């Protein structure tokens, strides 16, 4: 094991090394340059995010949504109340299709 003397010596060496630290010389415009670079990178990321959603793709998406809405509306008009109730009962297992001897 290391003795207390060796530990104390290392502690003092560490504390003495703090005195050798000097002030760092920084350009007065360092902060402005860094902030400018950060702003430029965020603008590049933002432009790349929406660059794939071109007007042609927007128009195609709009056409698809309109066609789906028209089809859904026509399907809704054709369905009757009884059909809707039967579909609901089938999907939740509420129909009693089993035959029993007692019925």
Quote the percentage of the chain above a pLDDT of 70: 81
pTM for the model: 0.36
Tallying the residues shown for the chain, one arrives at 103
**pLDDT tens digits along 11-45:** 898 888 888 888 888 888 888 999 888 888 766 66
d(CA 80, CA 76) in angstroms, rounded, equals 8
State the distance between the two ends of the chain, measured CA to CA, in whole angstroms: 92
Cα-to-chain-centroid distance, residue 12: 51
Write the CB contacts of 94 (distance below 8 Å, at least 6 apart in sequence): 88
Are the C-beta atoms of 95 and 89 separated by less than 8 Å?
yes
**pLDDT tens digits along 68-103:** 999 988 887 776 778 888 888 888 888 776 666 665
Could you give the dihedral angle defined by the CA atoms of residues 13, 14, 18 and 19, in that order, rounded to the nearest 10 degrees?
-10
Is the predicted pLDDT of residue 61 greater than 90, yes or no? yes
């Amino acid at each position: 094991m290391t003795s207390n003397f060796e530990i104390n010596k290392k502690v003092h060496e560490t504390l003495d090394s703090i005195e050798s630290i000097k002030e760092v010389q920084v350009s007065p415009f360092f902060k402005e340059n860094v902030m400018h670079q950060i702003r430029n990178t965020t603008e590049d990321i933002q432009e790349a995010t929406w660059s794939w959603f071109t007007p042609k793709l927007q128009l195609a998406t709009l056409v698809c949504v309109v066609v789906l809405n028209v089809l859904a509306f026509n399907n809704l008009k054709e369905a009757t109340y009884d059909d809707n109730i039967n579909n609901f009962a089938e999907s939740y297992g509420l129909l009693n299709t089993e035959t029993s001897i007692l019925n």
